[in-house]
Chains A and B, each alone.
Chain A
C-alpha cells in the first residue's frame, strides 16, 4: 500500500508541535511527514510522550500545529469521526440520540438521521439498545456507541485515539474483530493511535512507529497479513517477525 499512486486522503508535511501537557511536561511532535491513502487503515504506535495523541488532535483540528502543514483531499474542512479513549457519550442522551449527534450538528432532517443511526446501531450490534442511556451500558457497549457516532455522518477520515485502552483484555480483543469487520463493511480511511503492538498488527495495513519526544517517524511498516485476520494468525511466524520489528523500533 505504501507505493499507492492514488490521490491520498490526507498528506502531512513536516508537521511539528510543542505543547505543555498541563502537568508541567511537554507534548512534543518532531517534523513528521506521511500520507494516508483512501480506505487505508494506519496505526500510529509509539512510547508515551511521543506525541501520537497530539498528532491525532492536530489532524482533527483540535490543536493548531506549531509548524508544517496538513492537506486533506479536496476539502479545507474535512469531516472528522473521532473516537476518544473514553466513550465520551452525553449521559442525558439515549444511545440513538448520541449516535445522531453529528447529524444534528450537520442539520440533517430528523427522519433521515434516524434511519442512518439505525443502520449504524445494527452495524455495531446494538439492536434493542436504542433507547438505553449511557449509564446502563458496559464499557465495550459504550465504545461501540462512540464508534457508531464517529461513523454516522460518513466522515472523510476516522480518527481513533487508543479507543480500547480502557477496556478489559477480552472485550478489547472482541472489539478488534468488530472494528475490523466494520472497517471492511464501511470502507473508511482510518488513523488509529495505540500503544499495543498486537492491536496494530491485528488491524492495520500500515504501522507508523514514532520515537520518544520529540516524536518522529522511525519506521513505516506495511502489514501484509491476509484479511480477514483471525485470532489464529497471531501465532504465526510472520506475525511474530512483524511484532519483533515493531518492538525493536519502539525501543
Chain B
C-alpha cells in the first residue's frame, strides 16, 4: 500500500503527468464546495444542521481573529507531535529488542498483541481519569495508538535485512553498533517509514479521541463546544483544521521518504 502511494506521488511530480492531471483534484474540490453551497441554499437546511461554505469561511476568519483556533490547534498539534515522538521512540526500541531476540519476542508478544486488542477509545476514559484533563493523558493516548504500527514495521524492517549483508558485516568484524548504523538502520528504513506514515495520521485521531473524553482545550474540545452551542460552523472549522493537520503530517513523512529513500528504484 505504502509503495503504491509513494509511486502515485512520484507520478504526480513527473512533469508530463502533472500537466494532464493537476486540474482534476482542484475541480473535484470546487465541485464539492459548489454542491454543498447549492444544498444549503436550495434545501433550506438551518445553519445548525449544515452551515453553508460561506458561513464556515466566516466562522474560520472569526476563530482566527479571536486567536482561539490557533490556540486550540497548537494544543492538539503539540499532543499529536509529542505522542508521535513518544510512541515512535518506545516502539522502535522495543521493536529492535523483539527483532533481535527470539526469547524476548516470545516473552513480549502476548502483551504487545493484547495491547493492540484493547480499543483505544475504550481505555481513553481510564487514562483521562488517571492522568487528568490536561495534555499528558492525550499524549499518552497518541503514543499508545502510534505504538503498534511503528513496532510491527520496525520488527518487519529489521527482519528484512538481507542475511548475506549481515555476513558481510561479520566478515569485516564490524561491531554491533556499526552493523546497526551502517546496515540495519538504512536497510529497515523503507518499512519503518511506512509504519511512521500510518502512525502520523493515527496520532491525530488519538489526540481527538482523548480530547472528546475530557479536555478543556484542543480541537476535539472545540468540536464539543461547537456542538453544545449549536455552532455547527465551528465544528466544521475544527474538522477541516484537523484534516489539514493530518495531511501535513502525512506529507512530511512522504517528504522524509523522498529525501531518505532516493536510492530506491522509481520505475
Contacts and interface: CB of A to CB of B under 8 A. Distances in A.
Nearest to B178: A105
Contacts of A61: 170-171, 173
Interface stretch (A11-19, A81-89, A208-216): A81-89
Contacts of A247: none
Contacts of A93: 263
Q: What DSSP secondary structure best describes chain B's contact surface?
A: helix
A80 B170 CA distance: 10
Contacts of B174: 105
24 contacts: A57-B167, A60-B171, A61-B171, A62-B167, A62-B171, A82-B168, A84-B167, A84-B168, A86-B164, A88-B164, A88-B165, A88-B168, A90-B187, A92-B187, A92-B263, A101-B168, A102-B172, A104-B182, A105-B172, A105-B178, A133-B263, A135-B263, A153-B172, A159-B171
Interface in A76-111: 77, 80, 82, 84, 86, 88, 90-93, 101-102, 104-106
Interface string B161-204: 01011011111111000100011001100000000000000000
Nearest to B169: A105
A59 to B, nearest CB: 10
Task: Give the contact-size bracket for chain A.
Answer: 20 to 34
Contacts of A135: 263, 265
B150 to A, nearest CB: 21
Interface of B: 162, 164-165, 167-174, 178, 182-183, 186-187, 261, 263-265
Contacts of A133: 263
Interface of A: 57, 60-62, 77, 80, 82, 84, 86, 88, 90-93, 101-102, 104-106, 133, 135, 153, 159
Contacts of A77: 173
Contacts of A80: 171-172
